Amino acid sequence: MPDPQPGSVYELAHEEEAENLATFAVLVDNEPGVLHRLVGLFAARGYNIESLTVAETDRRAHTSRVTIVTRGTPHVLGQIEAQLEKMVSVREVQDVTRDPNGLERELALVKVKSSGAERVEALRVSDIFRARVIDTTHESFVFEVSGAPNKIDAFVELMRPLGLVELSRTGVLSITRGAEAM
């Protein structure tokens, strides 16, 4: 079969089938059961949550910010956004991945067990990624690294052959640039 021409119907149809990663920032009323209902929405429809973070935004406003990372076709992601907006406890939904002012960050703790040349290389790589050593023994390091999720992924992949033992990630946090609040 010949390669599809740019902009052809064939290419557009297959482009829509491609799954994308999306980050939704959801401002919700801080009340019992809200998180359960949000997660239930995803489970009931067979959508996977790849990352989920929740925290109060301001105690006086009684709101929490939920950041959900999921994957789907553009059509499915649009459905997820629409269904989130219909929930009673949801005040606002923002697709951070489509917002040009969107910022996403994550924190990871990475334990590496190594000695000799691998130990020196682990320190060199951590310096390049601006990772901090937060614990050290004669046999291991625990690094703290933060940044965009793809930066964390790259750091982890470079640490694997150097003796990666354990990994703990916070999940994605998001916010938009500028003075406007969500």
CB neighbours (10 Å) of residue 108?
20
Domain 102-176, architecture per CATH: 2-Layer Sandwich (3.30)
Q: What is the pTM of this model?
A: 0.79
Q: Kindly tell me if the per-residue pLDDT of 122 is higher than 90.
A: yes
Phi-psi region of 63 (alpha: psi -120 to 50; beta: other; left: phi over 0): beta
Instruction: Report the Cα–Cα distance between both ends of the chain, in Å, rounded.
Output: 48
DSSP secondary structure, 104-154, as one string: EEEEEEEEEE--THHHHHHHHHHHHTTPEEEEE-SSEEEEEEEE-HHHHHH
Domain 9-98, architecture per CATH: 2-Layer Sandwich (3.30)
Q: Kindly tell me if the per-residue pLDDT of 13 is higher than 60.
A: no
Top pLDDT among 66 and 3 is at 66
Q: Kindly tell me if the per-residue pLDDT of 8 is higher than 50.
A: no
| CA–CA gap between residue 129 and residue 155 (Å, rounded) | 7
Q: Kindly tell me if the per-residue pLDDT of 63 is higher than 70.
A: yes
CB neighbours (10 Å) of residue 159?
26
pLDDT at 5: 55
**All structural domains of the chain with their residue ranges:** 9-98, 102-176
pLDDT bin (cut points 50, 70, 90) of residue 1 is very low
> Are 71 and 21 a contacting pair, CB within 8 Å?
yes
Task: Among 11-15, 47-51, 59-63, 75-79, name the one with the lowest average pLDDT.
Answer: 11-15
Same fold, 9-98 and 102-176: yes
Whether the CA torsion 174, 175, 176, 177 is positive or negative: it is negative
